[in-house]
Chains A and B, each alone.
Chain A
Amino acid sequence: MQVQAGRIGEITEITAWDQALRFFSFKDPALRYALAGAILLGLNCGLLGSFLVVRKLSLVGDTISHAVLPGVAAGFLWNMEKDPLAIFVGATMAGLLGSFMVSRLTATTKLKEDTALGMVLAGFFGLGICLVTMIQRLPTGNKSGIDKFLFGQAASLGGSDIYLMASVAFLTFGLVWIFYKELLTVSFDAGFAHCVKIPVSWFHHGFMLLLAFSVVIALQAVGVVLVSAMLITPAATAYLMTDRLHRMVFFACLAGMLAGAMGAFFSFLGHQLPTGPFMVLSAAALFVFAFFLAPRHGIILRWWARRSRSGRVRRENTLKAVFHALEQDGFRREGVTFMTLSKLRRQTLEETETASQELRQAGFATLPPGEKAVYLTPEGMRRAQTIVRNHRLWELYLTDAANYPPDHVHDDAEEIEHVLGEDLVRQLERQLNFADHDPHGKPIPTPEQMVSLHGQDKSASTGSLGYAKPS
């Protein structure tokens, strides 16, 4: 028993490896077809799926994909074999009939679209399953392949299937390329599209026809049940990656093709496993990847931005404390001891040292060995002044322009000082008539002094720092 178990394990291991090697040698014609088909359908689904997602029509894709099943069965019954063309025609017609029924239901009754979609989807799919079961029980005829339409089997693709897929993909690509600006306008604002003389309903019907084509060519590889995921998931992935539609379409195609190829590969590893679920899982994996890593919308970058922001706020607060210590001292000294700083910030000595180290790492301060004190670099001084300036300007704005009492404004300014940009500061200055003292009577550092302050002669500085504005 043990020996046998070991041998089986050995065999499967070798086979998986062999399979992978076979996959990447691309020698097997069936494999080449499967891969080409998977990539073509990924491309096609990405192209059309992008428009589905931005138009919030994702459910329409789902409905059409389920509605085609009775058409597939009818095409099969036509001459009792898997004739790609007959199945293509039957399936497309069923898909279009489904979408036509949805639009009639919503136009003539008070039913809303989601309800109509749900009913049509289930009704057509039920009919399809009945027909497929019936075909499988027929005593005669070559029934092989009909079951593959449920969950997909890329390995069952033949040469003529690939030609069909390639022509549809070519057609879709060409039409999206030529009519990109019209598709964009119709998707964003159909009323306006009408106003700029775009034949909106033609585009709508044309799009639905292409969608039906795409679903149908994807059927054999992905299966009726999961086609819609190939339409939606790569497009949703791309939606997270960018803020422009043309880039979204590009990324969606990329994600679709990658998911198709990955699905074909994994199902090949597992010996004739249905390809649909593997493609959809690959697409979902890509989505998760984008969810965490996408620029701007991705979780990780957002987390990183928040983290670095909180780091910046911490550094700026330390800088401010150093500035305050220097200011209390009338800027007679250049350095501030950790002891003074920790008292000012109500921190332990260790915390202050860590904070000072952060300043040093950011290039804002030097910590001469053995001195236990912080010396600001010119850059650090400039930053400290900017922060203090923002803080005091905002306090002044709140008291003067927004009529807050002076003892209410400090905490608010603590937050705002870190986010005020140059533009806003300039606006504040103008509104405050370039005031030079905050509501607590402290001088507001001005940009003119920022450079000169650090290098100025210490003996010359007075208690109020000689904050006279250069005239």
Chain B
Amino acid sequence: MTSDPNIEAVRSSSGPLSMRWTQGLSDAEIPLEIHDLTVAYHHKPVLYGVDLAIPPGKLIGVIGPNGAGKSTLIKSIMGLLPTDSGWVRLFGKPNKKNLGRVGYVPQRESVDWDFPVNVMDVVMMGRYGKLGLFRRPGKKDRSIAAACLEKVHMMPFADRQIANLSGGQQQRVFLARALAQESDLYLMDEPFAGVDAATESSIIDLLHTLRKEGKTILVVHHDLPTARNYFDMLILLNMRVVDFGPTKEVFTYEKLQKTYGGRLTILSEVADAVRQTKA
């Protein structure tokens, strides 16, 4: 009898269990369904046999150690990376056919902030999906972009070159751009990284508002203690889906230990987080 946590993980995530939270929903109602997804960089798998089906209208956190494939998961959902096996469906259609319903917040470090654009230019990019190749943004797009900037309290900075913003402000510009996409499923890669406490709580408020509007939000998150409070459901990821379910069920010492393996520093953090849960 083996006690390898990875094998346990495969067992718990494979088969019909992965569909546990979307039972009774039609394909078009399921925002995201992943089947047997494997992604490798230079022949080294980063994601291996991932199965996942997430229900609509939920705020879902993706947590796992560094190198667990969290960003890779987000990028593969959008079809940004070549996959070795498996498929991804968005609202019942292959991912590349339904990108119009996805809003994306990439990691802040993924772009050059010295790029010669101002805040409004960046948010306007969110409208390009709806505009298509040849049309230019019109009055309606400008007012939507302005409204999105207003939602993240960045309207006073609309004309500012993006290098002249703080980290939290840059993150909010990315959020506004995703809002301007007017999507149903939002994929956010570490939107809380390098953000001050006030911005973090205003972002969380915004995510709750989105959820109330029926949107589904998938957030890559690396801070365990806050993960417990922020999300309705959690995906525990370490190359495979270790577990996926309501935060209360999933955020347990055993499951987190499985996810984080033998990483001691993180384990102590986990222990703290669990102690907080019990307190």
Contact = CB atoms under 8 A, between A and B. Distances in A.
Interface in B73-123: 75, 78-80, 99-100, 102-104, 106, 110-112, 115-118, 121-122
A184 B117 contact: yes
A242 B128 contact: no
Given A189-B106, A197-B129, A244 B118 contact: yes
Size category of the A interface is: 20 to 34
A247 B131 CA distance: 23
A197 B99 contact: yes
A191 B80 contact: yes
Contact of A195 (B111, B116, B129, B131): B129
A77 interface: no
- Determine chain A's interface SS by DSSP, over half rule: helix
A307 interface: no
B166 to A, nearest CB: 15
A185 to B, nearest CB: 5
B79 A189 contact: no
A182 interface: yes
Interface residues of B, number: 33
Interface in A174-201: 178-179, 181-182, 184-185, 187-189, 191-198
A194 B78 contact: yes
Given A54-B115, A184-B117, A244-B118, A191 B106 contact: yes
Given A195-B78, A196-B125, A182 B116 contact: no
Contacts of A188: 111-112, 115, 117, 122, 125
Contacts of B99: 194-197
A243 B116 contact: yes
A198 B122 CA distance: 15
B118 A243 contact: yes
A125 B101 CA distance: 48
Contacts of A213: none
Contacts of B136: 181
Interface of B: 42, 75, 78-80, 99-100, 102-104, 106, 110-112, 115-118, 121-122, 125-126, 128-129, 131-134, 136-137, 161, 177, 181
A346 interface: no
B125 A194 contact: no
Contacts of B122: 188
A190 to B, nearest CB: 9
A425 interface: no
B126 A196 contact: yes
Given A54-B116, A188-B125, A248-B116, 11 more contacts: A184-B125, A188-B112, A192-B125, A193-B125, A195-B103, A195-B104, A243-B161, A244-B117, A244-B118, A245-B115, A247-B116
A191 B126 CA distance: 12
Nearest to B42: A110
Given A181-B128, A191-B104, A196 B181 contact: yes
A430 interface: no
A144 to B, nearest CB: 44
Nearest to B128: A196
Nearest to A247: B116
Nearest to B100: A197
A244 B99 CA distance: 28
A137 interface: no
A245 B78 contact: no
25 contacts: A54-B112, A54-B116, A56-B112, A110-B42, A181-B137, A182-B128, A184-B117, A184-B121, A185-B125, A185-B128, A188-B112, A191-B80, A191-B104, A192-B125, A194-B99, A195-B78, A195-B129, A196-B99, A196-B125, A197-B99, A197-B129, A198-B133, A239-B116, A242-B116, A244-B116
A269 B231 CA distance: 73
Most central of A56, A185, A187, A195 by chain B CB within 10 Å:
A195
Contacts of B112: 54, 56, 188
Nearest to A249: B116
A453 to B, nearest CB: 33
